[in-house]
Amino acid sequence: MFDTVAIDGDILVYRAACVAQHTYYDIYEDGELIETMDYAKEATGYVKDESEFFMKDTTLYEIRPRLEFFSEEDAIQAYDYQLAAISKKLKAKSYKTYLTGKGNYREAIATVLKYKGGRDAEKPYWFYAVRAHAESLGAIVVDGVEADDCISVIAYRGFLANEKKPTTVCVTIDKDLRNTPGFHLNPDKDDEPVLISRIEASRNFYQQLLKGDRTTDNIPGCEGLNVEVAKKYGLRKIKTIGEKGAEALLLDCQTDREFYERCYEVYLGHYSNQVGWDKETQTYQYTSWDEKQMERTIDELIKEQADLLWMERYKGDRWTPPLKS
């Protein structure tokens, strides 16, 4: 039994709200409804089959998405079901669910790209109703940081108590949390908690420092890979750094300092070959996402990305470059 199970409530709320709505795809022929499909791919496949296999004229076919909402009760039940599934997998003295509130210190740090700048999509219809339900059950709303930071703090606290068998576990589908040592559970994939060691957490973090996290948080990482650096470490793909590329670049590193120095080499290789690089001052000059003129050293460029990616391990914790041994 664990002392504490810390849960990323943001994901549970969003998923529950999504369960209570669905987009159907109605297919019309010359304005008349002829078929309805559950998914867009099925609808386009249907029209394609009508044309290619049944030799029909599909010129007047039209696919129209139709969003249908289910009940608030369905959304709330979906949230409760997720909590029940977690408690069934993990027995603990205490369960703490966290929700992200107002403000986020990372917003003031990001200059290259706007932090979470790609998240403009409208919330699911029952999102706020489910969130209110979560709060009524005791979910803790945190301002200035993210729910992820809070569950990271709890995971690390348990890790410090017992590195071989931590006393706490954090629950989320977000792999970013595996930058923190401790017990982790992805409810979609894991039947039991996975222990992330210090070296594994460091490797995960520095790989992300290279590749960034554009899809979820709009964090660019190192925006490119120099040809010479790519060849030095046996990489064929040289324009961007993906998951496999990041792994290969750090493959032989074993300490935090080695991870950092390798990342520095990659960042320097890329930015020193860009138009904005000043050889005399050894700085990179660029325009920020909000139209400010910036001038940064390689250390400062790395620091920004690291601060955006770092999950707090205790309250107020921020990333610092590892010291030379």
Convert the pLDDT of each residue in 249-308 to its tens digit. 999 999 999 999 999 999 999 999 999 999 999 999 999 999 999 999 999 999 999 999
Q: What pLDDT score was predicted for residue 216? A: 84
**Terminal Cα-to-Cα distance of the chain (whole angstroms):** 39
Residue 31, pLDDT score: 93
Residue 323 lies inside a defined structural domain of this protein: no
Tell me, yes or no, whether 64 lies in a domain. Answer: no
Q: Are residues 244 and 270 in the same domain?
A: yes
In the predicted structure, residue 154 carries a pLDDT above the cut 70: yes
- Pairing, β 293-296 against β 283-287: antiparallel
Determine the structural domain holding residue 276 and report its residue range.
200-309
Q: Is the pLDDT of residue 239 over 80?
A: no
Domain boundary among 129, 161, 196: 196
Of 161-175, 234-248, 257-271, 289-303, the one with minimum mean pLDDT is 234-248
Q: Is 224 domain-assigned?
A: yes
How many other CB atoms are there within 10 angstroms of residue 240's CB atom? 15
Q: What is the pLDDT of residue 311?
A: 96
Same domain, 284 and 239: yes
User: What residue type is assigned to position 8 of the chain?
Assistant: D
Residue 76 has pLDDT above 70, yes or no: yes
pLDDT averaged over the chain?
94
Percent of the chain beyond pLDDT 70?
98
> Do residues 160 and 297 both lie within one domain?
no
Integer Cα distance of 174 and 178 in angstroms: 8
Tell me how many degrees the CA angle 313-318-321 measures, rounded to the nearest 5.
110
pLDDT at 237: 65
Contact in structure between 194 and 182 (CB atoms under 8 Å): no
**Residue 53 lies inside a defined structural domain of this protein:** no
Q: What is the pLDDT of residue 103?
A: 93
Whether residues 192 and 241 fall in one domain: no
- Confidence (pLDDT) at 117: 80
The verdict on 138 and 257 lying in the same domain is no
User: Measured between alpha carbons, how far is 63 from 35 in angstroms, rounded to an integer?
Assistant: 10
**Same-domain pairing of 134 and 240:** no
In a domain, 39, yes or no: no
Same domain, 126 and 178: yes
Taking 90 as the threshold, does the pLDDT of residue 19 lie above it? yes
Give start and end residues of each alpha helix (H) in the chain.
9-19, 40-52, 72-89, 127-136, 147-161, 198-211, 214-217, 227-232, 243-249, 256-271, 298-309
Q: Are residues 184 and 271 in the same domain?
A: no
CATH number at residue 173: 3.40.50.1010
| Residue 15 pLDDT greater than 90, yes or no | yes
Which residue, among 271, 294, 291, has the nearest Cα to 282 in the 3D structure?
271
Structure confidence at residue 44 as a pLDDT band (50, 70, 90)? very high
Tokens of 163: 């590195």
Number of separate domains in the chain = 2
- Measured CA to CA, the distance from residue 59 to residue 67 in angstroms comes to 25
**Cβ proximity of 16 and 78 under 8 Å:** yes
In sequence order, which ranges of 171-241 are alpha helices (DSSP H)? 198-211, 214-217, 227-232
Report pLDDT digits (tens) over 103-140.
Answer: 999 999 999 999 988 666 789 999 999 999 999 999 99
C-alpha–C-alpha distance, residues 129 and 119, integer Å: 20
Higher per-residue confidence, 313 vs 239? 313
What pLDDT is attached to residue 122?
81
